[in-house]
Amino acid sequence: MTDTSNPATPFGGEAPQGAVQPAIRILAQFVKDLSFENPRAPESLRAGGPPPQIELGVELNAQAREGGLYEIDLKLTATARREADPVFQVELIYAGLFQVIGVEADDLEQVLLIECPRYLFPFSRRLIADLSAEGGFPPLMLEPIDFAAIYLARKAQAGEGVVGSA
């Protein structure tokens, strides 16, 4: 047995002297804004008619805070329409306060806009399902979101290249 101050790597062995293992810590998560509209109730709650069409909007925002912390906002908007009539609309901004350690500056944006929203999504998904059910509708269960694809599309739209992408 040896005395060493080097931290172990996840695969056994030791990390190089002074190396910090990358880590994401969730310090807080919270509802920042929440709205549910059921403009045609109680008529919209009647059975029958075609199933509503659902439009989903996803927006991401990352903001640096003091002390090396980052606030990530995941905005989800779901609008249900039957023909041209609105059935319901839910808008949620679910946010988290994250500490990101040991990530290179070149990779930080990807961590903030891909990995951090992945942690927030299951909680926001549950809130939207609960809200639609409490509004008198079947729970709206959102499919998993590919945040990497959203990030790449956002970069392509801005005309920026993404390092390491094909």
Residue-averaged pLDDT of the chain: 85
Tens digits of residue pLDDT in 77-131:
999 998 888 899 999 999 999 999 988 989 999 999 999 999 999 999 999 999 9
DSSP symbols for 123-144? HHHHHHHHHHHHTTS----PPP
Give me the CATH topology for the region 20-153.
Bacterial Protein-export protein SecB (3.10.420)
Distance CA 117, CA 125 (A): 12
For the question of whether the overall pTM of this predicted structure is more than 0.75, the answer is yes
The answer to whether 41 touches 57, Cβ cutoff 8 Å, is no
What pLDDT is attached to residue 68? 85
What's the alpha-carbon Rg for the chain, to the nearest Å?
A: 21
Tens digits of residue pLDDT in 55-72:
999 999 999 999 889 999
CA 157 → CA 60, 86, 98, 147, 160, distances in Å? Answer: 15, 30, 27, 15, 8
What pLDDT is attached to residue 10? 44
